[in-house]
Amino acid sequence: MSLVSYKKYPTSAQAKEVATLLSKHNILNEYVENKNTLDSNFSSVLLEEYEIKIKPEDFKKADEVLFEDASQVIDSLPEDYYLFSFTNKELIDIVIKKDEWNELDYVLAIHLLKSRGVSVTDESIEKANNQRIAELKKPEKSNSDWIAVGYICALLGGFLGYVIGYILVTQKKTLPNGERVYVYSESDRKHGKNILYLGIFSFVLSLILVLFL
């Protein structure tokens, strides 16, 4: 099975440290440097991020490895570490949305909640994780203007139409549990297919007109 995106980091040092740690626990991984990416509205933005890819079935094991490693440094954190000033509600939000936080903050949030007498059980964490996955599975809302542009460009035989259609049809995202799901709804993917077919038809028609007229 191919490797999929597991974590992204702002620095090469962070990503390489994680890659080394995973390798020590026999978790196959790949370190990737990304210089640019494409956001959900198809506008190109220049970024520099460092990605770790692993097998989808290794996500749970990798989480356990990183959380265990993070728990080792909790007692050595400075007194002014920003999470210490968080309210219980803010800490619970970290636990629920752990995919938006680093491993240290997630582990520390659970530690602080327990130290404040808040009940945080394995069952409640599992329930929160399942709810989060269900939320992230929901298709993203596409940009209707870009769909319209896609149709127009496809009708005119433009390459941008093909790109927009291809993205709508094929783009997927990786959930925190390693599952891969389509980014856009079935309705948006149908628009993408229509744009692709229209673009191909327009291109072939244009080619015929150029060659025979």
The predicted structure's pLDDT at residue 213: 66
For the chain, 213 residues long, the average pLDDT of each consecutive 10-residue run is 89 95 97 69 61 95 96 94 97 95 95 95 92 93 85 84 90 93 94 91 80 74
Between CA 190 and CA 66 the distance in angstroms is 40
User: Which spans in 77-185 are helix H?
Assistant: 88-96, 103-115, 122-137, 144-155, 159-170
Is the full-model pTM beyond 0.85?
no
The predicted structure's pLDDT at residue 125: 92
The predicted structure's pLDDT at residue 36: 60
Q: What DSSP state is assigned to residue 11?
A: S
The predicted structure's pLDDT at residue 127: 93
Are 134 and 175 in contact by the 8 Å Cβ rule? The answer is no
